[in-house]
Amino acid sequence: MENQVNENVVVKTKGRMGKANIWATVVMIVLGILAVVTILMAIIPKSYAIELPKENPNFINIYQTSTTPKATLFNDEDKELYDELWDAFNSSFKQSSLSALFQKELGNTVDYNYVGSNTKSLSSLTSDNNFVLGFVYADVQTLYKDGDPYVCEELKTNSNYTDGVVTFKKIWVTVNDVEGVNEVKFYVQKMVSAGSSESTYAVLEISTKGLQSELVDVINKVITEKA
Domain residue ranges of the chain, discontinuous segments joined by +: 1-43, 48-226
Reduced to 3 states (helix: H, G, I; strand: E, B; else coil), residue 67 is: coil
Instruction: Tell me: pLDDT of 224 over 90.
Output: yes
Tell me: pLDDT of 120 over 90.
Answer: no
| Predicted local distance difference test score (pLDDT) of residue 28 | 66
Kind and range of the H or E element at 212? none
The pTM for the full model equals 0.74
Report the range of poorest mean pLDDT among 61-65, 131-135, 158-162, 171-175.
158-162
Please tell me the distance from the alpha carbon of residue 42 to that of residue 150, in angstroms, as a whole number. Answer: 32
Evaluate if residue 154 carries a pLDDT over 70: yes
2-16, 49-63, 135-149, 163-177: which has the minimum mean pLDDT? 2-16
Encode 165-201: b = buried (16+ Cβ within 10 Å), e = exposed.
Answer: bbbbbbbbbbbbeeeebbebbbbbbbbeeeeebebeb
